[in-house]
Chains A and B, each alone.
Chain A
Amino acid sequence: MGKFGFSVMETRTVNFGELDNRLLGYVLENEASFLTCISCGGCTATCSAGNLIDFNVRKINLFLRRCDIESLAREIDKCMLCGKCTLVCPRDINIRNVVMLIKKGIVKFRNE
C-alpha cells in the first residue's frame, strides 16, 4: 500500500495471444474427457479436502484454462487423490488423472 494507502489492481483480462498453453494442451491430449467439463461443481461439493480446508476442485479447470500456473500449482497441492470427485462427475471425467497430469506437466514444462 505504501504511502498512498491504496495500490494498483492488475487487470484480470486474459490475452490468449500471450498465454503459455502448453500445460493445457498436454492435459487435454492425455485426458480428452476433460474437454467435456461443464463446471457444475459436483467435484467441489463432494471433495473431502474441500470440506476441511480452502480447496476448490472446480478452480483447477479455471486456472488451467487461464494458464495461471502459479495458482494452479498452489491449488493442486491440496488434493488428497481420494477420487470422490471422479465418482460424482456427471461427465465421467477422470479428475484424478487430470490432477496427476497437471502435477506431471508442471514439473515437465518448468524444466523445459
Chain B
Amino acid sequence: MKAEGKRNIWREYQKEIACDHFYYQRSCIRQNFFPASEKTFLKILRDELGKDIYDDPLHTTCTGIGYHTDVVPFDTIQAVVARHFALMTEAGYKNMAISCVTSFGIYSEITETWKEFPEELEKVRKSLKKAIGKEFEVPANIAHASDIIYKFKGEIAEKQQFELINKQTGKPLKIVEHIGCHYSKMFPSKGVGGAEFPHVLSGMIEEWGGEVVDYPERRHCCGFGFRQYMVQSNRGYSLSNSKKKFESMEPYMPDAIVANCPGCNMFLDKWQYTLAEMQGKTYGQNGKGIPVLTYEELAGLVLGYNPWDLGLQMHQIDCEPLLDKMKVPYNPEDKYLGANKKYIGRPEVAACLA
C-alpha cells in the first residue's frame, strides 16, 4: 500500500483531543493505590505545559464499580454523571479530562446513549433539576488523561531529563504497554488508534526513547473484571488472566509495564506479589518482579521528578532496578518517608521478591 493510503487510513483511527481548559475528573481507586499519579498529571499540565485544568473537590466517584457489579442501576449512574457535568458547567469548562478508564467508559457509554436516545437525556435533565436544582451541558470534548499526555508527548520530550534507555547497555528499554479494556474496546472511536491499534501508550514510549514489546497476549485483558475480583472466591479468574499475560511477556524480558487503567495498574502490580506467594514464581529478569508504572509516573520519571515524589514506593514490585537502568538518581533512605518526612511503614514482601 502507498504511504499516502496508509496515512489516510490511520487518520480515521485518530480522536479529537482538546488543547486546553480541562475539568479534571479524578479516579476513586487510583488515589489509594497510585496516590501521586494524579498530582503528577496536574503538575505536568500546569507547570510543564502551562495548561489550565480545574481540580474540583466537589465531584464524587462515577459509581462505575457499582454499575458494573449490578449494584447501581443505569438511571442512577446517569444522574451521578449528569451532576458531574453540572459541576463542570458551573465551573465554566467544556472539556473533560478523565483520570480513570472505567469512568471514561462510563462517560462514553452515557453520552452515546444520550445521542441515540435523546429522551433519556431529557429525563435526566428533569430529574437533576428537580433533585438538586442544577442544569448541565454535555462536554464538548471528553478525553482520557492518557490522551492528553499522548497529545503533548512531544512537548514533554523537549523537556526530557532521562530517556527510556538502558544506560547499562545503551539499548532502548523494553516496555510492555497495556491499555485498559474500557478505553477503546467498548467504543473504538473514543480511543487513539481504536480497539485494533491503540497507540496512546506505545506513542509515548516510542517518543521518549523506549521500545514497545509486541507479545502474543498483548491485547488480553489484565483480568480486573469487576465481577471477578469483587467476590473473593472468583478472584482466581482475575489472577489467571494476569498470569497468562505474564507468561506470554516473560520471554521478551521486559524492563517495565505501563498501563493507563487503575485496575490494570493495580492488578498487574499486586498479582505479581500474589503469584510469588502462591507459586514462588516471578517474571522479571532479575528473578524479581516487573515494575508496573502508570503513564503519569513514566512521564514524571522522564521529566526528572524525584521517584519518591511520584509515589513509586507504594508499588508492590520495587522500581529500583528500572531507576538504576535509566540512571535516575534516588535516595534509598527516603523511600518510606512521607511528605512530612515521617516513616510511613514498609509493605510486606513475598520471600522471592525480597
Contact = CB atoms under 8 A, between A and B. Distances in A.
A2 B274 CA distance: 11
A6 B234 contact: yes
A7 interface: yes
Contacts of A7: 236, 239, 278
B240 A9 contact: yes
A2 to B, nearest CB: 6
Contact of A4 (B234, B237, B274): B274
Interface residues of B, number: 16
B234 A8 contact: no
Nearest to B271: A8
B240 A5 contact: no
A11 B277 CA distance: 19
B311 to A, nearest CB: 25
A2 B278 CA distance: 8
Interface string A1-19: 0101111111100000000
Nearest to A5: B232
A11 B232 contact: no
A10 B279 CA distance: 12
Nearest to A2: B278
Contact of B235 (A2, A6, A10, A11): A6
B244 interface: yes
A9 B278 CA distance: 12
B87 to A, nearest CB: 39
Interface string B274-298: 1101110000000000000000000
A11 B239 CA distance: 11
A78 B237 CA distance: 32
A4 B235 contact: yes
Interface of chain A, main secondary structure: loop
Contact of B275 (A6, A8, A9): A8
A11 B237 CA distance: 10
Contacts of B8: none
B250 to A, nearest CB: 14
- Most chain A C-beta atoms within 10 Å of own C-beta, residue among B236, B275, B277: B236
Contacts of B234: 6
B243 interface: yes
A41 B273 CA distance: 44
B169 interface: no
B233 interface: yes
B276 to A, nearest CB: 12
Contacts of B240: 8-11
Contacts of B275: 8
A5 B237 contact: no
Contacts of B236: 6-9
B244 A6 contact: no
Interface string B228-251: 000011111101100110010000
Given A11-B240, A11-B244, A5 B274 contact: no
A16 to B, nearest CB: 15
A8 B235 CA distance: 9
Given A9-B240, A11-B240, A11-B244, A4 B233 contact: no
Contacts of B279: 8
Nearest to A13: B244
A8 B237 CA distance: 7
12 contacts: A4-B274, A4-B277, A6-B232, A6-B233, A6-B239, A7-B236, A7-B239, A8-B239, A8-B243, A8-B275, A9-B236, A11-B243
Interface of B: 232-237, 239-240, 243-244, 247, 274-275, 277-279
The 3 residue pairs across chains A and B that have the minimum distance between CB atoms: A6-B235, A6-B236, A9-B240
Given A4-B277, A8-B240, A9-B240, 12 more contacts: A2-B278, A4-B235, A4-B274, A4-B278, A5-B232, A5-B235, A6-B232, A8-B275, A8-B278, A8-B279, A10-B240, A11-B247
